[in-house]
Chain A
């Protein structure tokens, strides 16, 4: 018989194989249990509490009692007034005889430029004049041109150069519009504007020939030469302030309580339209402002909106095309974005530069811009009316989105009181960070009688750039760090900078309404290194206006654009000044020429002016 029987099977436990089955099961279970134990152990090890983390958490609870910011040592920056000793005898004449006509208080600009190609920065001071309905003075006020001897001494060459010209001048724009190697002079005015061609050190009025006078009824202010259409030559942009005439001004009868007749606010005058003269490249200009999208009109009434003073041509989004920001007085500021097709799109409101943080238009006067944090943060500074802070519209990238960081950077509160006109960035202590200066002064000579906080003459501002890590990015320097010469109150209007004596640091020129200008020599002795660049393009935009220089040294990258139109109605020198602080070696200098061509500069010389010719 086979063991297989038909008997009912016994329960497994009772079978002979049960022990073996149980044994296998036990071993399998044991293996599984061991595996599970290993997994659990591994997991327990993996997720074990981290003693270090506990320690960190404990540390985090102990918060610092105060924020640790880099130690900031304010520099000593003595500026010495050398106006008279340097030979500048100019006095601004505005024709003020008590009628309180608005142009009499808006001042005029100045320019540093090299009119005779000797390599030194000469000075042009724009003058206004007496009114034609008043008795003519014995000697008519004129423009004034002073030739620099290279060490900061100036000779009056107004008569010799043919610039002994009388007009009610306001702003000035310098540019070699005809590519002959000699810088020409455009002067905006109440009435017809003037263009003077520089014929080898002699100026010839070519206004009528070139058709850039505007109209007799215009009041032109900010003006600038730049190549908006990238055809290679310099075009001319001119803004106008308000529709003004003596009769309109007198009929509006502005009064200040206790003072009587006063200078009227621009809000009472009608707005204007600008001019954009496109250079046709053959001694001819065509006015194209409307076609270029620069005519801003109130959409409801169709009347012109602009009441413009400051002009800032700047490639805001770094696309290689120059955009324009226009500072308007009591009207929203404009941002004209270059569409690259010969026209602009106005984006002031959507970009955030049109108003203050409360949505109000301010009394905007002068304007300038700089990459003040040595990164991609472009700051646009606008000098505003008294009791309005200087604006600092900042964009962190190239998306044309700005926020007013005046308060956050420490610039706003100390700038609030004074009535600002020209604002100007510059690295005056050569530490590698651009500082901000401003020319201030009220409109009303007797303002202190009705507003105790205000004075006709006001001290110029100097905001030292402490760097983005400091408690306050901008700190106002006073007399103890500057000089009595710097902070002495004046009726400031225009402002410009240049190295007038070849020592590498930036000197300042401020114009005064109905007074003498102030030439301030920078006598800093901080032993900081520096480097300067003067670009010479091979195309018709000979002075490379619009070119960008990026310099990397000591871990910082600075960026500057060649643009003389800065401040208020004024022009600064074409050369770019980079402070290097204690760093004496440069890692990299890259130039982007106006047509977009890039050039890496080999072996630039520190503590020298480097003249860079564009490679063929």
Chain B
């Protein structure tokens, strides 16, 4: 009887500890954001590591990856939503693109066929495009999964987004910081040259089709509306190192891992902060 009581006490104590641990779990280094058509927001957390889902304005753990290297999403760094509303995630630890199934589990799509996926975008057919900074190439993966095919060579590609005409805009750390690929990827044109960005990351379009680029070192979000030169939409505090960007309805979402905050940015530059956890000092 005494042992049963001890066991029960232990269960209560352990259960309590687990509850406390779950309560204390917060985003650590969120560096990518995406939003589904229904407004559901997901965050990729590089150092948790894992994926968060925003519920009622708060981060709720959606998938927690292992800290063990070479395990799925151990180094998650980009997200996208496919045409069926499924969540996609790129992981440099396993060199893989994953699609989350209905049970919330990541399923590999390429058998380790990519290097360091920095950004994902889905075209009208549902095929998945990835910016692979390990080989400095843009690759395409069939919607159902399969071998990654090299489409174009772009120096240090970091961000991807399709415009309304199905052309792929690519953020690069090369001499030309935004290039635009034709829908078939066979031709490209320079959209931004002269290196106005300090350390550009990702790109997204607003409802009107204007592009926006996050710039970590400039602590800014740039508005890119060619032929005009890029201009800063917002810059400085509270932005510290904005990396991820995604469209969510009429607004933009910007994720900043050092500030550990999610920002909602209107196209007029008005910025709303949602703190996720303690910032990096």
Contacts and interface: CB of A to CB of B under 8 A. Distances in A.
Contact of A281 (B69, B198, B216): B69
Interface in A473-512: none
Contacts of A233: 69
A435 interface: no
Contact of A180 (B93, B198, B217): B93
Contacts of B68: 281-282
B129 interface: no
Nearest to A202: B241
B89 to A, nearest CB: 14
A118 B134 contact: no
A603 B68 CA distance: 37
A413 interface: no
B258 interface: yes
A283 B173 CA distance: 29
Given A117-B116, A202-B216, A180 B174 contact: no
B69 A202 contact: no
B45 to A, nearest CB: 11
B213 to A, nearest CB: 15
Interface string B158-179: 0000000000000001110000
A157 interface: yes
B257 interface: yes
A605 to B, nearest CB: 15
A317 to B, nearest CB: 29
A393 B156 CA distance: 42
Contact of A119 (B136, B201, B241, B280): B136
B52 interface: no
A540 interface: yes
A17 to B, nearest CB: 106
A500 B77 CA distance: 29
Contact of B92 (A119, A160, A181): A181
Contacts of A119: 136, 155-156
Counting chain B residues whose Cβ lies within 8 A of the other chain, the interface size class is 35 or more
A396 interface: no
B115 A540 contact: no
Contacts of B175: 150
Nearest to B47: A199
A585 interface: no
A181 to B, nearest CB: 4
B216 A536 contact: no
A227 interface: no
A199 B75 contact: no
B217 A160 contact: yes
A211 to B, nearest CB: 14
A118 B157 CA distance: 8
B67 interface: yes
A108 interface: no
B211 interface: no
Interface string A175-190: 0001111100000000
A204 interface: yes
A539 interface: yes
A613 interface: yes
Interface centre among B69, B75, B93, B257 (most CB of A within 10 A): B69
B133 A282 contact: no
Contacts of B136: 119
Given A282-B67, A539-B70, A179 B93 contact: yes
A273 to B, nearest CB: 28
B134 A160 contact: no
A118 B155 contact: yes
Nearest to A281: B69
A199 B66 contact: no
A201 B68 CA distance: 22
Contacts of B116: 117, 180-182
B156 A540 contact: no
A117 B156 contact: yes
Contact of A181 (B31, B112, B133): B133
B208 to A, nearest CB: 29
Nearest to B243: A200
B205 interface: no
B92 A180 contact: yes
5 contacts: A117-B156, A180-B46, A181-B75, A181-B116, A200-B216
Closest 7 CB pairs of A and B: A180-B75, A181-B116, A160-B217, A118-B156, A181-B92, A282-B68, A282-B67
Interface of A: 116-119, 150, 157, 160-161, 178-182, 199-202, 204, 232-233, 281-284, 536, 538-540, 611, 613, 616
Given A282-B67, A540-B70, 4 more contacts: A178-B69, A180-B93, A202-B257, A282-B68
